[in-house]
Every structure is written in structure tokens, then in C-alpha cells.
Amino acid sequence: MKILRLLMAPLMTLAMLVSCQSESGEVVPTPEEPTEEVKAAAVNLKLDATSQSSITFTIDSSDAVEVRWLCVAQSMTATITGEDVMTQGVAVEANVAVSVTADELLAGATYEVYGAASNSEGEITMASALVVKIEAGDVAEATYMLGDNITASTYVLEANGLRNDYVSFYDASTGYTLFIDFYSPVDGAYLPSGEYPLGDGSSMTSDQEYTYLTLYTDGDLLRFVDGKATVVAHYDPVTDVAIHSVTAYYTMDSGETVSLQYSGIFKIE
């Protein structure tokens, strides 16, 4: 009997380490250690300043492992997700306020700034986006000036082995519409940067016959004898959108002049 008690003693000690008995004799398991809940990351954006080529903003975060920002041209079709920001955006230091400047932007164009952060489990939080219109350049003095409230739409064709962008610029503030008939190399995915003087519709010109101004809907076509349009194009691979800055100045036979300053996307008709 003594030998049996000695063999059972270690087993009884082990059982007491992993369980205990209630007053009724029921075995109650030892409670597990509580696990700490992972907090969602927080991220915020604050606009600080703009110029004719840049946006300066502050991105602030907490409980974050990784933080990124992304600046894209405003698009009427593209939707930016947190995954887009985390895979294509620019990384900044997490859990502090960081001042950032997005530069080389087009004057007069509208941009969207996004911020996103992820926590230790990879869960992504997005900040409320900033929608910012860059300061526009001055419109050249002319008899007829377009630049306050312009929308641009285009028909894209292939003509005579060239790309043909027939763009209308409508200024809602004045009612003026300027039509410019651009021609460029056919292999371009969008209207390329360059100077487009009035011409015969050859490559990198604007066709003089179809480049004109109307002062109101269905009004007379006011044609030009001299002038050019200068185009700067930026393609945004994130939104798959090209934005254009177009500056134009034309002279009529009467001596009257037309000027245009536009930055933004062309709505394709």
C-alpha cells in the first residue's frame, strides 16, 4: 500500500496544476489569459498650401505599421481604394505628423490626395480624400478670354493616317466655345505635348478650317488667321487618365483676339 501511494502522489500534484474543484466537486478549467485586441490604424489628411505646380499637406497617423499617400488627377470614372494607395502610394513615417509636398502638377488642374494606413494585422484604413484645384495661370489679355469655368470634350478619330482630337472648350461664365482641331501621330494613346500652330491638318498642327470660336450656341463661326495652341500632357497610370494643360492665342482677320487657359481632362464623346 505504501508503494501505491508513492506512485499516485505525482499524478495528484499534476492534476492540481491544471484544474481545481468547485464546492460541489465539479472540475473547473483554469481561465485562459485574455488576448489584447489589435486597434485599427487611424490616418488623417490636412491641406496646408497650394501653388501653380504643387500641393502641400500633412498626413497624421496612429496605431499604424505602414502609412502611404497617393496624389492622382481627378477622374470621373476611376475609384481609388485603400489597396491602391498601399501598393502604389509613397511611404511616410508612421504614427507622427508628416508634411508632404506633391509637385510637378499642372496649373489649373484638379487633383485628389489619398492617405491610407495598415495595422499589425494588415487591415487598411483610408483617410478622407482631399480634392484640390491647383492655382491657374493668368489668361492672356484678349478680346475674348476663356479660362474661368471651362469644360472640355473631344471626339477622337483617325484621319489621313494621323490621330485627330477635335476638342471643344466651353466657358460657362461667358458662353464662348473654342473649337481646336488637333492632329498628332496616330500611335499616341492621348493628345501629346507640343505646339500646334494653325495649319493644314498635318502632324502637330491644328487645322485652320475647323479651328474657330463661337460666342453662343449655334452662333457665327469666328475664324483665325494666325495663332497656336501649346499643350502639356500628363498621363496618370493609377487612374488611366491623361490630363492636359492647354494655352492658346489666336488672331482674327478683324484684329480681334482669343485666348484660352485650360487644365483638366477631356471628356471623350
Q: What CA–CA distance (Å, rounded) separates 42 from 28?
A: 41
- Domain identity same for 96 and 178: no
- Give tens-digit pLDDT for 187-238: 999 999 999 999 999 999 999 999 999 998 778 999 999 999 999 999 888 8
- Domain identity same for 66 and 105: yes
Count of CA atoms in the C-beta half-sphere (13 A) of 26: 4
- 77 lies in which domain range? 42-133
- Domain identity same for 121 and 73: yes
pTM of the model: 0.74
Number of domains making up the chain = 2
- Domain identity same for 106 and 175: no
**130 or 33: which carries more pLDDT confidence?**
130
- Domain identity same for 50 and 111: yes
Here the cell at position 233 is: 500632357
- Domain identity same for 127 and 152: no
Q: What CA–CA distance (Å, rounded) separates 248 from 195?
A: 10
Residue that terminates a domain, selected from 133, 155, 176 = 133
- Domain identity same for 200 and 253: yes
- Domain identity same for 111 and 90: yes
Q: What percentage of residues in the chain have a pLDDT greater than 90?
A: 70
Which residues fall within 8 angstroms of residue 34, CB to CB, at 6 or more apart?
A: none
Residue that terminates a domain, selected from 113, 133, 153 = 133
